[in-house]
Structure 1
Amino acid sequence: MVQRKDKKTNKWLFDISDGVNPVTNERNRIIRRGFRTKQDALKAEELYIATHCNKAISSKSITFDMLYEMMKQTDITEEKKESYIKSQEYSYNKHFKKYFEKANISKLTHSDMIVFRDVLLKKGLSNNTVNKQMILLKKLMNVAVKKQCIAENPCHNIKKLIQKAPVIDFWTVDEFKQFLTLFKEEEEAYRLIFLIAFSTGMRIGEILALTWKDIDLEDESIHVTKTLIRGTKFRSSSPKTDSSVRRIAIQTSLVRTLTKWKENQQQLLAPYFKDTEDLQIFQYVPSFINYDNVRRKYNNICKRDSTLKQIRIHDLRHSHVAFLIHNEEKEFVIKERLGHSTIKITYDIYGHLYPSKQKEVSSKLNNLF
Structure 2
Amino acid sequence: MTTQKNFSEIAELWKQDKKMYVKKSTLSAYILLMENHLIPTFGNSTHIQEEKVQQFVFQKLEQGLSQKTIKDILIVLKMALKFGAKHKWIQFEPFDIQYPTIRQSHQIEVLSRSHQKKVMAFIQEHFTFRNLGIYICLSSGIRIGEICALTWDDIDTENGIIHIRKTIQRIYVIENGERRTELLLDTPKTKNSIREIPMSRELLRMLKPFKKIVNPNFFVLTNDSKPTEPRTYRSYYKNLMKQLEIPELKFHGLRHSFATRCIESKCDYKTVSVLLGHANISTTLNLYVHPNLEQKKKAIDQMFRALK
Offset of 1:220 from its aligned partner? 1.4
Q: Structure 2 CA distance, aligned partners of 1:96 and 1:304?
A: 42
Q: Structure 2 CA distance, aligned partners of 1:58 and 1:182?
A: 64
Offset of 1:216 from its aligned partner? 0.4
User: What is residue 16 of structure 2 aligned with on the other side?
Assistant: 73
Q: Secondary structure at the match of 2:73?
A: helix
Offset of 1:124 from its aligned partner? 2.6
Matched, 1:316 2:254: yes
Q: Secondary structure at the match of 2:46?
A: helix
The answer to whether the 8 Å contact 1:223/1:248 transfers is: yes
Once the two structures are overlaid, the 10-residue window that deviates more, 186-195 or 230-239, is 186-195
The answer to whether the 8 Å contact 1:131/1:161 transfers is: no
Q: Secondary structure at the match of 1:352?
A: coil
Give TM-score scaled by structure 2 length: 0.75
User: What is residue 219 of structure 1 aligned with on the other side?
Assistant: 159
Aligned-partner residue type, residue 272 of structure 2: I
Identity of aligned residues (%): 24
Q: Structure 2 CA distance, aligned partners of 1:263 and 1:96?
A: 52
User: What is residue 116 of structure 1 aligned with on the other side?
Assistant: 56
The answer to whether the 8 Å contact 2:218/2:225 transfers is: no
User: What is residue 195 of structure 2 aligned with on the other side?
Assistant: 246
Aligned residues: 295
Matched, 1:281 2:239: no
Give TM-score scaled by structure 1 length: 0.64
Q: Secondary structure at the match of 1:235?
A: strand
Q: Structure 2 CA distance, aligned partners of 1:247 and 1:202?
A: 11
Distance 1:263 1:57, change over 3 A: farther
The answer to whether the 8 Å contact 1:81/1:237 transfers is: no
Distance 1:285 1:212, change over 3 A: closer
Offset of 1:262 from its aligned partner? 6.0
The answer to whether the 8 Å contact 1:226/1:238 transfers is: yes
Matched, 1:255 2:195: no
Larger radius of gyration: 1
User: What is residue 176 of structure 2 aligned with on the other side?
Assistant: none
Q: Structure 1 CA distance, aligned partners of 2:37 and 2:236?
A: 24
The answer to whether the 8 Å contact 1:82/1:237 transfers is: no
Q: Structure 1 CA distance, aligned partners of 2:121 and 2:3?
A: 60
Q: Structure 2 CA distance, aligned partners of 1:321 and 1:75?
A: 35
2:30 corresponds, among 88, 91, 102, to 88
Distance 1:63 1:106, change over 3 A: closer
1:105 corresponds, among 34, 45, 49, to 45
The answer to whether the 8 Å contact 1:67/1:140 transfers is: yes
1:264-297 C-alpha deviation (Å, 9 max, x unpaired)? 9x5xxxxxxxxx4334322356642223223333
Q: Structure 2 CA distance, aligned partners of 1:75 and 1:93?
A: 16
Aligned-partner residue type, residue 253 of structure 1: E
Distance 1:105 1:289, change over 3 A: farther
Distance 1:362 1:336, change over 3 A: same
Distance 1:173 1:186, change over 3 A: closer
Aligned-partner residue type, residue 124 of structure 1: G
Q: Secondary structure at the match of 1:228?
A: strand
Offset of 1:134 from its aligned partner? 2.0
Offset of 1:170 from its aligned partner? 0.9
Distance 1:360 1:296, change over 3 A: same
The answer to whether the 8 Å contact 1:262/1:281 transfers is: no
Aligned-partner residue type, residue 356 of structure 1: Q
The answer to whether the 8 Å contact 1:172/1:323 transfers is: no
Distance 1:343 1:233, change over 3 A: closer
Q: Structure 2 CA distance, aligned partners of 1:117 and 1:304?
A: 41
Q: Structure 2 CA distance, aligned partners of 1:86 and 1:186?
A: 38
Higher percent of residues as helix: 2
1:348 corresponds, among 279, 286, 291, to 286
1:306-363 C-alpha deviation (Å, 9 max, x unpaired)? x533332222222112212222333343233223454444323222056616427736
1:137 corresponds, among 52, 56, 77, to 77
Q: Secondary structure at the match of 1:105?
A: coil
1:175 corresponds, among 115, 123, 139, to 115
Q: Structure 2 CA distance, aligned partners of 1:221 and 1:346?
A: 22
Matched, 1:296 2:235: yes
User: What is residue 159 of structure 1 aligned with on the other side?
Assistant: 98
Q: Structure 2 CA distance, aligned partners of 1:187 and 1:72?
A: 46
Q: Structure 1 CA distance, aligned partners of 2:74 and 2:127?
A: 39
Aligned-partner residue type, residue 252 of structure 1: R
